[in-house]
Amino acid sequence: MRLSDRALQLTARISLLIALASLSAFLLVRTYLGDPETLYNQGTVSETVSRGPVTMEKVRWQLGTMQLYTQLIDEDRRKVVLENNVPGSVVVAVHLAVTPLDGVDQLSDGGFVCDAALRDDRGNVWKNQNVDTMLGPSSCSDDDHPLKLNQPNKLVKLFVVPASAVPHLVGVEVGSLAEYRRVLITF
């Protein structure tokens, strides 16, 4: 066998090895990169909508106004204590219209989960706090303010954020684990 034939065979084998290794790596990584559950669990936003409405799990969300407070009071005019409300932070109240549609789960039996998160342009996310204030109900399962089916119901989602984050706030995100879907409703 000549030297050029051996070099050609060696080149072909190395090329085949590289191609097989590349294909294996692609098939392994593709499963994780394109998996909707993994993307949802990582906090990836799948859609962005300006103000709404957004329908998710038979509930329509419409963004209203955003207001900033340093302190809140309840219906008895007592100071409301929120988690993480430390000096240098503000309370962000986001007003929403939530409309449960026909077929929504558990409307009559204790309500349904309607959590939302506040997001900024730097990737920070804050969970809402369900606390009674004079601003209105903050939970979809509030017995004192039951939600009406097929009608917009006013809710106030409360978030405690650092004052430095306020100029960077972009919107409220709602998600559905069942649909592996997370929507950012921008201001």
pLDDT in tens, 145-171: 788 889 999 999 999 999 999 999 999
What pLDDT shows up at residue 163? 93
Confidence (pTM): 0.75
> Does residue 167 contact residue 27 with C-beta atoms inside 8 Å?
no
What pLDDT shows up at residue 107? 56
Higher pLDDT pick, 39 / 95: 95
Tell whether domain 45-186 is in CATH 2.60.40.1240: yes
Domain borders along the chain are 3-33, 45-186
At 63-119, the pLDDT tens digits run: 999 999 988 887 788 888 888 788 889 999 999 999 999 887 665 554 566 889 999
